[in-house]
Structure 1
C-alpha cells in the first residue's frame, strides 16, 4: 500500500522533517524511541522566541529580558506540572538526559560514595546511566552491582530486594527500557531502596511523552529527562531534584550561577521554550494518543506475525509502552537482542511508533518487512540449515572478540 494517502500528507504538514523522500518515496519513520520529530508548533515557539524575545533570562530589567524570563519560567512550570513535582525550583534545566545523570553522579555521587559503597543498576540501563557511575566508582572505590531482569524483560524485584543492603547508596533504574519498551515499577523500586536508606535515580528519557508521571507519588530522589524523545528539540533536558526531604547536589559546571548555581552557563532558552511547548502538547494528547499507539502497535505485531514465520516478540507485551515493539526474525543475520537465544537473535528490530504514524504506514511497513525478511532468509545459511532439518540449538557457536 502506498504511504502517500491524504491522512499521511496532512500529518507530514505538521511534522515538516517528514517531507523528505528516499528513492522517490516518502519515509515511514518508526524510530521514535531513538528520537522524535518536532511539530510545527514547537518549531514556531522556538522561532518566535528568537524573533521577538531573544535576551538573557534573569539578567536584566529591560523589556526583552523580562519577556524572555517569562517564557523560560513558563516552560519550567510546564515541565514541573508534567512530572508532578511539588515546586518549580526542583527542576534544573540541562542539555539532555545524559548531562542530568552526570550531574547526579559527579556531584552527589562523588560527595557521597566511599570505598565498598554500592550502586545498583538494572541490566536494562542505557549507557548514559552506566558509564557515569563506572567513572565515579573508579574514583571512589564504590562498587556497581547489576540488578537482573526476567526472560520477558521485566525487572526482577525479588533480586533487587536481595541485593539491597547496608552499603547500598543508590539504585538507578530506567523508567522505560529504550530497547524493549519495558515499563518498570518505579514506585516499588523506590520503596525497596528507601527502606535500606538508598537514593533512587530514574532515567525517564523514554517515559515523559507517553504516560502520566508523578515524582511525588513515585517517591524518587532524582528524575532525568530529555526533550528530543518527546517531540521537543535536541540538546535540552532537565533533572528533577527532590527538595522535601532535601537531596543536595553541587554544581559540576561553575561560572555565572545559572539554574540556582547548579548548572552555570548561558542557557539554551529557545530550546527550553520548545521543551515546554512539547511538554504542553504531550500532557494534552497523552490519554488519546496512548490508545491510538496501542492499536497501531497491535496492528503491526499481528500483521508481521501473520506474514512471517519464526518470529519472537522480545519483552513483555503487558508491561511496555503502547507504541513500542521489538521483534526478532529467526535465520536472518543481524544484531542480537537482549535475552533472546542465539538462533532467534541474529536479527532484531525495534519499532518505535509515534504521534505522526498512521495505519497506512503500518501496513506499508508490514509489507516491507515481510519482503525483506524473505529475501534475507534466501541468502542465510541458517535458514537453509533449518529447512534441511538441522537443530540450530545443538550448534556450539564460536564467539568473536
Structure 2
C-alpha cells in the first residue's frame, strides 16, 4: 500500500503543475525546431514566444528582455559578468558586491575574478546591511571603479525578504549595475522588475511548479544584453544563448508562470495561514525551538525552525521515515556536511544552527500536509533528542 507523503520542500522544487505538464506534452507531441521555417517549426516558435510572453508578464518585463536558460544557475552565470550593454549603453563593472546570505550560485562570483568579489554582511535577521553597501559603493566610485550589485529577492533557507528596492536605489546612484536572484520570490511575491529597480533578474521554472531544467535571465530593457554570452552558436535567444531551445520545458515554464501570477493574491494569504499555524503549533509543543527570522518580512510559504541540541540531518531522515519531506538548509547543499552559511552569517549560535530545518509550502500544499508534519514533529523531535542525550 502506498503511504501518502506530506511534501514540505517546495523551495527545493515544487511539484509539476497540471497546466505545465499539459503544455509540455503538447509541445512534445507537436515537435519541431523553433528555428525552422516550415509549419512544425513555426508552431514550435509560437509556443516558445508564448512562453516568453508569459514569463515576461510574471516579471513585469518586456518579452524581448527574457533570455531562456537551463535554470537559475545558468541565468546567474550569464548575469555575473563585468561587460554589459545596459539599455543600449556600454558598461564595464570592476567589482561584484553581494550579500553573505546569497545562494552559492551567486557567492562564487562566476565570471568575476575572486579578487573582484566582495561579500557584504547582514543583520541578525539576514538582511543586507545597507549602510555597508553604501559605504562600499562610495569607496569604489571614489576610486573610479564601477560595481555590479547582486542581491536575492528572498532567501531560500529562511524566506527573509531583502531590501532590494533600497539597495538598487543606492547602487544606481553610484552608477552600478543591479542583478537580483528572484528565484524564491517569483510567484510568491508581486514581482515587477521596474518596481524593484533592478537591471537583471534570474528565474527558475521548477520553483513555481514548472519543470526542472528551465530558467530565464530577465532584463528591464530589451536593449540590455551581455557582451560575453556563455554559449555562442546559431543566434538563438538574440545571440545571448546559443543552441536549440528546450521548447517543452520552456512551454511548461510559461504555463507555470501564468498560473503563479494568476493565483498569487489568494495563494499568498492561504499559505500564510498554513505557515503561521504550523509555526505557532511547533513553538507551543516543543521547547528550545526558534523560528529563524521571525521578526523580519518573509515569504509566506517558508519557515526555518531551529531545534536546540539536535542535528538537522538526523531530524530530516527521521521525518522522512515518517513520510514528511523537508530540507536541512538549501537543497543544492544538502549533500554537504557543515553548518548553513546563511545561518552563520546571521550570527545564529552553532548549537541552534546545526539543528535548523526548512519547511516550505506551495501550490499543492494542504492543511492535511501541515497536520501530518506537526504530528510527526511532536513525535520525532523528543525521540531524536532523547537518543542524542543518551549518546552524549
2:95 pairs, out of 100, 107, 118, with 118
Q: Where in structure 2 are there 5+ consecutive unaligned residues?
A: 85-89, 314-338
| 3-state SS of 1:255 partner | coil
1:98 pairs, out of 73, 82, 86, with 73
Residue 347 (str. 1) matches residue 355 (str. 2):
yes
- Cα distance in 1 for partners of 2:377, 2:72 equals 32
Q: 1:78 to 1:217 in 2, by over 3 A?
A: same
Query: How much does 1:156 deviate?
Result: 1.7
CA contact (8 A) 1:104 1:249 kept: no
Q: Where in structure 1 are there 5+ consecutive unaligned residues?
A: 1-20, 386-401
Query: How much does 1:88 deviate?
Result: 1.2
> In the alignment, which residue of structure 2 is the partner of 1:162?
135
Matches for 1:11-22 after TM superposition, within 5 Å: none
Matches for 1:269-348 after TM superposition, within 5 Å: 269-334=247-312, 336-337=339-340, 338=343, 339=346, 340-348=348-356
- Cα distance in 2 for partners of 1:302, 1:294 equals 12
- Cα distance in 1 for partners of 2:297, 2:129 equals 13
Residue 204 (str. 1) matches residue 193 (str. 2):
no
Query: How much does 1:361 deviate?
Result: 1.5
> In the alignment, which residue of structure 1 is the partner of 2:34?
57
| 3-state SS of 1:240 partner | strand
Residue 257 (str. 1) matches residue 232 (str. 2):
no
Aligned residues between the structures: 353
Deviations 1:122-141 (A, max 9, x none): 011001112243x5214xxx
| 3-state SS of 1:136 partner | coil
| 3-state SS of 1:121 partner | strand
- Cα distance in 2 for partners of 1:168, 1:151 equals 29
CA contact (8 A) 2:92 2:146 kept: no
Query: How much does 1:108 deviate?
Result: 2.8
Query: How much does 1:54 deviate?
Result: 1.1
Deviations 1:53-74 (A, max 9, x none): 21111421x2222221111111
- The structure having more radius of gyration, on CA atoms, is 1
2:46 pairs, out of 70, 79, 82, with 70
- Cα distance in 2 for partners of 1:132, 1:151 equals 24
Name the TM-score, length of structure 1 as normaliser. Answer: 0.83
CA contact (8 A) 1:221 1:247 kept: no
2:108 pairs, out of 115, 131, 140, with 131
Higher relative contact order (CA 8 A, sep 6+): 2
